[in-house]
Amino acid sequence: MSKIKIGIIGAGNISNCHIQAYQKNPDVEVYALCDINEKQLNDMAEKYQVKRTFTDVNEMLKLKELDAVSVCTWNSAHASCTIAALNAGKHVLCEKPMSVSEEEAKTMKEAAEKNGKLLMIGFVRRHGNDCKVLQDFIRNDSLGEIYYAKATYLRRNGNPGGWFGDKSRSGGGPLIDLGVHVIDLVRYLMGNPKVTSVYGATFQKLFNRKNIKSVKGYSSVGRSTEDICDVEDLASALIRFDNGAVLSVEASFSLNIKKDEGKIELFGTKGGAKLDPELEMYTELNDYLANVQLDTQTALDFDGLFEGEINHFVDCVANGTKCIAPAEDGIELMRILDAIYESARTGHEVILK
Ligand X SMILES: NC(=O)c1ccc[n+]([C@@H]2O[C@H](COP(=O)([O-])OP(=O)(O)OC[C@H]3O[C@@H](n4cnc5c(N)ncnc54)[C@H](O)[C@@H]3O)[C@@H](O)[C@H]2O)c1
Nearer residue to ligand X within complex by CB, 34 or 186:
34
Cα 107 to Cα 95: distance, rounded to the nearest angstrom:
16
Residue 53 binds to ligand X (criterion: CB under 6 A):
no
CB contact set of 309 (below 8 Å; sequence gap of 6+): 21, 93, 122, 124, 126, 127, 325
Using the rule CB under 6 A, is 95 a contact of ligand X?
yes
Among 30, 81, 118, 154, binds ligand X (CB under 6 A): 81
- Closest separation in Å from C-beta 140 to ligand X: 29
In the shown chain, the binding pattern of residues 128 to 167 toward ligand X, with x for contact by CB under 6 A and - for none, equals ----------------------------------xx----
8 Å CB contact between 279 and 182:
no
Binding to ligand X, residues 252-281 (CB under 6 A):
none
Q: How far apart (Å, rounded) are the C-alpha atoms in residues 309 and 189?
A: 17
Smallest distance, Å, CB 144 to ligand X? 31
For residue 132, the Cα-to-chain-centroid distance in whole angstroms is 17
Provide the minimum distance between the beta carbon of 91 and ligand X in the complex, in angstroms, as a whole number: 18
Position 99 contacts ligand X (CB under 6 A) = no
Task: Select 5 or 96, whichever has its Cβ closest to ligand X.
Answer: 96
Q: Give the integer Cα–Cα distance in Å for 52 and 258.
A: 47
Segment interacting with ligand X, rule: CB under 6 A, options 10-18, 233-241, 265-273, 325-333: 10-18
Cα–Cα distance for residue pair 219/221, rounded to 1 Å: 6
Which of 21, 68, 124, 143 is the binder for ligand X (CB under 6 A)? Answer: 124
61: exposed, middle or buried (C-beta count within 10 Å: 0-12, 13-18, 19+)? buried
- Comparing CB distances to ligand X, the nearer of 12 and 144 is 12
- One of 19, 30, 61, 75 touching ligand X (CB under 6 A): 75
**Applying CB under 6 A, which part among 23-31, 73-81, 194-202, 278-286 lies near ligand X?**
73-81
| Number of residues binding to ligand X, judged by CB under 6 A | 25
The CB density around residue 214, as the number of other CB atoms within 10 Å, is 9
Query: Binders of ligand X among 17-46, rule CB under 6 A?
Result: 34-37, 40
37 vs 168, beta carbon nearer ligand X: 37
Q: How far is the CB of 256 from ligand X (least distance, A)?
A: 25
Tell me how far apart the alpha carbons of residues 48 and 88 are, in angstroms, rounded to a whole number: 25
DSSP state of 3: P
Instruction: Give the span between the Cα atoms of 26 and 17, in whole angstroms.
Output: 16
**Omega before residue 277 within 30° of 0, cis:** yes
State whether residue 213 is helix, strand or coil.
coil
Element containing residue 246 per DSSP (H, E): strand 246-252
Contact track, ligand X, 163-202, x by CB under 6 A: x-------------x-------------------------
Interatomic CA distance for residues 345 and 113, integer angstroms: 34
Q: Are 233 and 254 in contact (CB under 8 A)?
A: yes
Shortest spacing between CB 13 and ligand X, in angstroms: 3
Chain positions contacting ligand X, by CB under 6 A: 9-14, 34-37, 40, 57, 72-75, 77, 81, 95-96, 122, 124, 162-163, 177
